[in-house]
Amino acid sequence: MSNKVSLIAAAIMLPLTMSVNASAINQTKGDFEDKFRQLGQALPTPNVYRNAAGEPGAQYWQQKVDYKIKATLDEKKRRLTAHQSISYKNNSPDTLKYLWLQLDQNIFKSDSIAELTSTVRTKLQSSPDKGKAKISLNKLRRQQFMADTELGYEIAKVKDSSGNALKATVVGTLMRVDLKKPLKPGKSLKFSMDFAFNIAEEDAVGARAGYEHFEKDGNDIFLLAQWFPRLAAYTDYEAWTNKAFLGSGEFTLEFGNYDVELTVPADHIVSATGELENASRVLTKAQRQRLEKAETSKRPVFIVTEEEALENEKEGTSKTKTWKFTAEKVRDFAWASSRKFIWDAKGYQQGGDEQPLVMAMSFFPVDGGDLWKKYSTESIVHTMEVYSRFSFDYPYPVAQSVNGPVGGMEYPMITFNGPRTELHDDGTRTYTQAEKRFLIGVVIHEVGHIYFPMIVNSDERQWTWMDEGLNSFLDGIAGREWDPTIPWGVEARDIVPYMKSERQVPIMTQSDSILNFGRNAYAKPAVALNILREVILGRELFDFAFKEYAQRWKYKRPTPSDFFRTMEEASGVDLDWFWRGWFYSTDHVDISIDRVYKLRLDTKNPDIDYARLREAELNKPISQFVERNKAEGRDLWIDKNQDISDFYDDNDRFTVTNKERNSYNKFLKGLKPWERKTLERAVKEDKNYYVLEFSNLGGLVMPILLQLTYTDGTVEDKYIPAEIWRRSPKKVQKLIVTDKNKELKDISVDASWLTADIDVENNYYPRRIIPSRIEVYKSKKNKGKVNRDIMKDIKTEIKKNEDKKEKPLTEDKK
């Protein structure tokens, strides 16, 4: 700490002249950057559909699309054939001459944009020692599968309700259907079509659905999603959302009601979006009784037990059964079908008026084992308990988790989750702790998606962060309420390597163009929201605003600006700087405490100040020259000639005379009464004035989380809001005043690692040596107990005394 004594005026004069030019868009003089410029210019203008509060406006509208589908699964050919009729209600103020549908299965066609633009990145080297370029077996398998299997939709008989053929034009993953007569605002129409496609093998092509084949018993699990031509959304902000499906940007769809009949092999068990309407036709009496029992059971009840599932998968059948499902107010419909499924269920009695009972259910093959039996359905219930607190009651009758070839994917009321157990040679099944964490984590995450974006219907094709970021943030909360000892994501420290890297795009980037998908669209927004909740707004304000957002946009279609505006409007805190920094830029957090000055008030009283100056002089280190002379025993002239002395031997240069005292008295007389009072008090208190100098090296403005440690051992936390940077975004100074006996020992910034500050070393004053991970690892190695293999060691049998004697006396020096 620079112990620099200098003078500060009795009144610290802050220059209060400001030249704020709020209307300017570009700063063209100097290098000042207004990190707090309001987002107004960057956000769309509020209107009657979306108001300035971030709420659906007075004339908010969205289309309604209802589907009636009859589909048949051909198990042998792994082919789906279906007929669907669609009711389209135009609630927009516009007249529509055509409708756009999404044909997601067409992404697998060889001429799709996704296939045509898939790239390889390989550096072919001419010299042989550089090795061969490589192609993976996976890639070859995919190519072979796609060459052997005709993929994509076959669509026929697109007709209006009178049976007239409608012109349908396929444009890659989209299809335009031209209407015979323009559809006016407020009017509805019906049309229908036949469609069919070959189901992709999920493991071969890599998709969000598909079939999985089990060599051992010859059966498949079918996961059907994005399986019917779905109406593209028509919106107030983009009109038709007919941007091609490239793979990353998922779906934005319309809400509506579904009436779906699924014809599958008679021994299959089907899990689907919606409520089963014909249980008496497709389930046995025992199964129906078990379902009823499950409604009030404390733990999941098996509807199909493991034994029954194993028996079921032994032989197939050529008979079929038709399962009927209905679903209301959903934006999509997905399903799963297999004779391998074990099925368990548990009623979640959430109360309330809307949906007092929700059936949480899981479907999994024997490979799911105890992992699924114990934790899948329970994780579904836990998710609803936590998420509803942050949003609204779960509004649907079922919430399901299905095990299949997909690692993790969500649809309304149904999710696909991948983790499984491992089979051992002795027939037992085990799973590791990591697999357990993964199962609980993925079920929470995917079921969480039923809230965001399946109910709070954000546009996934444009903004992945709006569902993945919000959902990752919430799954972190649900995870911590499951078991905080399990390391869940959302810790600021975990994104530090990403934040300091050079390969980044802003969070506000269209889904298909994102670099570093997981970190950009999942981790960074989740951490940012966590910081907003825990550091900037506090839980009370954040949770209120977040719930407001969820409730405002339940069953509606929010855009980023609606989220930003709601969070700001409901919390009452200007957060434009936060969205600007975290969502609109690639800045990172790196706040450095550069210097600290300690100052003492100049009293103007010569009897005090001169004495202090003398003391300061005496505190300076003695001249080495003089020291050495002394050591050598050099006699001084003044010592040898003490008989000669004068005035200056008794009075040093800090001696106060009446000249100074008169001038001091004159100064006092010249002060106004309030000035004298202020000075007197300040002199009496004699406080410590510390000037702390900070720089913002990362560019992202953030609050400064100060921790002050005093020489008396006390520690004080001080929160300096981000607004400290508003006039000087690169460097600021802060005055800290402490009582006379309260002296600063050291200072740290963000000592608890809450803000993803990328450089810890410059967060301390005085500086500390921050060892690297490897240095820490080397110094702690063998000291900590973390390296013990307790699970293995615990099986060690206790040695009896005789064993001890028998042990050969060889020394193992490994």
Partner 1 sequence: MRKSLLGLVCLMLTSAVNAHQLKAAITTVLFNDRTNNIEVMHRFYLHDAEHAVSHLFKKSPGRHNHADLISDKETQDTFSNYVEKQFKLETLTNKKLQLNSVGHQLDGQFFWVYQEIKVPDSVKGFRMSHGALRDLWPAQVNMVNVEGKGKVKTLTFSGEDIWLETKFEDK
Q: Return the residues of window 86-125 that contact partner 1 according to CB under 8 A.
A: 119-125
What is the closest distance, in whole angstroms, from the C-beta atom of residue 728 to partner 1 in the complex? 24
What is the closest distance, in whole angstroms, from the C-beta atom of residue 309 to partner 1 in the complex? 22
Within 398-457, the residues that bind partner 1 by CB under 8 A are 405-410, 418, 422, 424-425, 430, 432-435, 437-438, 441-442, 445-446, 449
Residue 439 or 701 with smaller CB distance to partner 1: 439
What is the closest distance, in whole angstroms, from the C-beta atom of residue 223 to partner 1 in the complex? 10
When asked if residue 618 is in the footprint of partner 1 (CB under 8 A), the reply is no
What is the closest distance, in whole angstroms, from the C-beta atom of residue 133 to partner 1 in the complex? 6
Instruction: Pick the stretch among 43-51, 177-185, 236-244, 775-783 that binds partner 1 (CB under 8 A).
Output: 775-783
Which residues are within 8 A (CB) of 497 and not within 5 positions of it... i.e. 6 or more apart? none
Within 466-495, the residues that bind partner 1 by CB under 8 A are 468, 487-489, 491, 494
Residue 423 or 683 with smaller CB distance to partner 1: 423
Q: At residue 553, what are phi and psi to the nearest 5 degrees? A: -110, 15
Kind plus residue range of the DSSP H or E element containing 689: strand 688-696
Residue 290 or 588 with smaller CB distance to partner 1: 588
When asked if residue 137 is in the footprint of partner 1 (CB under 8 A), the reply is yes
What is the closest distance, in whole angstroms, from the C-beta atom of residue 598 to partner 1 in the complex? 30
Residue 25 or 137 with smaller CB distance to partner 1: 137
Among 27, 148, 281, 517, the residue binding partner 1 under the rule CB under 8 A is 517
Residue 15 or 128 with smaller CB distance to partner 1: 128
Q: Round to whole Å and give the CA distance between 217 and 220.
A: 9
Q: At residue 803, what are phi and psi to the nearest 5 degrees? A: -60, -40
DSSP string, 557-614: ---HHHHHHHHHHHHT---HHHHHHHTS---BB-EEEEEEEEEE-----HHHHHHHHH
Half-sphere exposure (Cβ direction) of 723: Cα atoms closer than 13 Å: 7
What is the closest distance, in whole angstroms, from the C-beta atom of residue 81 to partner 1 in the complex? 25
Among 68, 70, 500, 734, the residue binding partner 1 under the rule CB under 8 A is 500
Among 778, 779, 799, 803, the residue binding partner 1 under the rule CB under 8 A is 778
Among 126, 642, 796, 801, the residue binding partner 1 under the rule CB under 8 A is 126
Among 61, 394, 482, 498, the residue binding partner 1 under the rule CB under 8 A is 498
Q: Is 302 helix (H, G, I), strand (E, B) or coil?
A: strand
Within 711-770, the residues that bind partner 1 by CB under 8 A are 769
Q: Round to whole Å and give the CA distance between 403 and 338.
A: 11
Q: Round to whole Å and give the CA distance between 303 and 288.
A: 8
Residue 65 or 151 with smaller CB distance to partner 1: 151
Q: Is 227 helix (H, G, I), strand (E, B) or coil?
A: coil
Could you tell me which of 77, 70, 154 has the C-alpha nearest to residue 109? Answer: 154
By CB under 8 A, the count of residues binding partner 1 is 81
Half-sphere exposure (Cβ direction) of 753: Cα atoms closer than 13 Å: 11
What is the closest distance, in whole angstroms, from the C-beta atom of residue 119 to partner 1 in the complex? 7
Q: Round to whole Å and give the CA distance between 55 and 59.
A: 11
- Binding-site string for partner 1 from residue 139 to residue 168, where x marks contact by CB under 8 A and - marks none: xx----------------------------
What is the closest distance, in whole angstroms, from the C-beta atom of residue 348 to partner 1 in the complex? 22
- Binding-site string for partner 1 from residue 297 to residue 336, where x marks contact by CB under 8 A and - marks none: ----------------------------------------
Within 189-218, the residues that bind partner 1 by CB under 8 A are 202-203, 206-208
What is the closest distance, in whole angstroms, from the C-beta atom of residue 225 to partner 1 in the complex? 11
User: Look-up: residue for tokens 């998710």?
Assistant: 383
Query: Which is it for strands 414-417 and 398-403: parallel, antiparallel or unpaired?
Result: parallel
Instruction: Pick the stretch among 134-142, 297-305, 616-624, 734-742 that binds partner 1 (CB under 8 A).
Output: 134-142
Q: Round to whole Å and give the CA distance between 350 and 380.
A: 13
Which residues are within 8 A (CB) of 715 and not within 5 positions of it... i.e. 6 or more apart? 707, 708, 709
Within 257-286, the residues that bind partner 1 by CB under 8 A are none
Answer whether 487's CB lies under 8 Å from 434's CB: no
What is the closest distance, in whole angstroms, from the C-beta atom of residue 795 to partner 1 in the complex? 11
C-alpha distances out from residue 653 to 601, 636, 649, Å: 21, 21, 10
Among 640, 773, 795, 813, the residue binding partner 1 under the rule CB under 8 A is 773
> How far does CA 556 lie from the centroid of its chain?
22
Tokens representing residue 342 in the block: 């074990």
- Binding-site string for partner 1 from residue 215 to residue 254, where x marks contact by CB under 8 A and - marks none: --------------------------------x-------
Within 547-586, the residues that bind partner 1 by CB under 8 A are none
Residue 8 or 423 with smaller CB distance to partner 1: 423
What is the closest distance, in whole angstroms, from the C-beta atom of residue 510 to partner 1 in the complex? 17
Which residues are within 8 A (CB) of 393 and not within 5 positions of it... i.e. 6 or more apart? 350, 352, 354, 355
Kind plus residue range of the DSSP H or E element containing 680: helix 673-685
Among 22, 58, 622, 786, the residue binding partner 1 under the rule CB under 8 A is 786
Which residues are within 8 A (CB) of 756 and not within 5 positions of it... i.e. 6 or more apart? 492, 493, 495, 496, 499, 527, 531, 588, 589
Among 772, 796, 801, 810, the residue binding partner 1 under the rule CB under 8 A is 772
Instruction: Pick the stretch among 27-35, 132-140, 169-177, 367-375 that binds partner 1 (CB under 8 A).
Output: 132-140
What is the closest distance, in whole angstroms, from the C-beta atom of residue 197 to partner 1 in the complex? 18
When asked if residue 814 is in the footprint of partner 1 (CB under 8 A), the reply is no
398-403: strand order across its sheet:
301-304, 342-349, 357-364, 398-403, 414-417, 408-411
Which residues are within 8 A (CB) of 123 and not within 5 positions of it... i.e. 6 or more apart? 133
E strands, 311-448, are: 320-330, 335-338, 342-349, 357-364, 398-403, 408-411, 414-417, 422-423, 429-430
When asked if residue 785 is in the footprint of partner 1 (CB under 8 A), the reply is no
What is the closest distance, in whole angstroms, from the C-beta atom of residue 129 to partner 1 in the complex? 9
What is the closest distance, in whole angstroms, from the C-beta atom of residue 471 to partner 1 in the complex? 9
When asked if residue 513 is in the footprint of partner 1 (CB under 8 A), the reply is no
User: How wide is the angle at C-alpha 9 spanned by C-alphas 6 and 12, nearest 5°?
Assistant: 115
Question: Can you give 47-90 as a three-state secondary structure string?
Answer: CCCECCCCCECCCCCCCEEEEEEEEEEECCCCEEEEEEEEEEEC
Residue 177 or 507 with smaller CB distance to partner 1: 507
Among 9, 12, 790, 809, the residue binding partner 1 under the rule CB under 8 A is 790
Which residues are within 8 A (CB) of 266 and not within 5 positions of it... i.e. 6 or more apart? 317, 319, 320, 321
When asked if residue 132 is in the footprint of partner 1 (CB under 8 A), the reply is yes
Q: How many Cβ atoms sit within 10 Å of the Cβ of residue 682?
A: 16
